[in-house]
Amino acid sequence: MRSHLRVGVLALQGDVREHAGVLTALGAEAIPVRRPEQLAGLDALVLPGGESSVIDKLSRIFGLREPIRAAIATGLPVYGTCAGLILLADEVEGAITGQRTFGGIDVTVARNAFGGQVESFETRLVVEGIEGEVEATFIRAPLITRVGDRAKAIATLPGGGVVGVAQGSLLGTSFHPEMNGEVRLHERLLELARARV
C-alpha cells in the first residue's frame, strides 16, 4: 500500500498553487489535473477557487467534465472552495447562460453573493468537527441559499448565512482556507480519502 495519498488539484484556472502547497505540507502528493487520464489513481480531488464559468467551460474543452462527474458519482472525495463549491452544487443562482456544474452536493448556491472583488473580507468561523475557529477569506464568494436533505451545513456566518457544507465524501466552502495557512479542511479531505482507501 502507498504511504502517501495522491490528491489531484483541478488546474484549469484559479488558485491551484495554494491548494497544492497545503496538500504537500500535509504529506500528500499534489497532482495538477488538466487531462482526463490524470484523474486515474487519485485518492481525492480539490476544485480550487477562480471563475466558475471559466472552469466549467475549460473542463468541457479538455474533456474533464464527464470523468469528474463519474468520479464524484463513484465516491471520490472532493473538496471545492469558492468557485469549486459552485461546481459541486446541484443548482446555481445567477449562472451565466449555458453554465453547468459537476454537481454532487444537494445545495443551491448564489454566485458572487457578497459582491465583487472590493467586497472581499476575512473573518473567523466555527466549522463543525474542527476545534477552535477557522480563518476564512471570502473573495467574490458564493452563498449557499438552500441546503437539501442529503447535505449538511457545517459552517455559517454570524448572520446565519451558510458558507460550508458536507455530503458524503464531498466538502464545499464559500471561503478560501488555503489563503491563510488553514489546513484543517484539507486534513478532513485526506481523512475521507484514507477511509475510502
- pLDDT (tens digit per residue) in 35-90: 999 999 999 999 999 999 999 999 999 999 999 999 999 999 999 999 999 999 99
Instruction: Find the helix or strand (DSSP H, E) in which 168 lies.
Output: none
pTM value > 0.75: yes
176 is catalytic: yes
Which of 176, 182, 186, 191 is an active site residue?
176
Which of 29, 51, 133, 178 is an active site residue?
178
- How far is CA 77 from its chain centroid? 10
What's the pLDDT at 97?
92
178 is catalytic: yes
Contact 139, 49 (CB under 8 A): yes
Contact 1, 43 (CB under 8 A): no
Q: Which domains does the chain have, with CATH numbers?
A: 6-196 (3.40.50.880)
Which of 18, 82, 182, 186 is an active site residue?
82
Contact 197, 182 (CB under 8 A): no
186 is catalytic: no
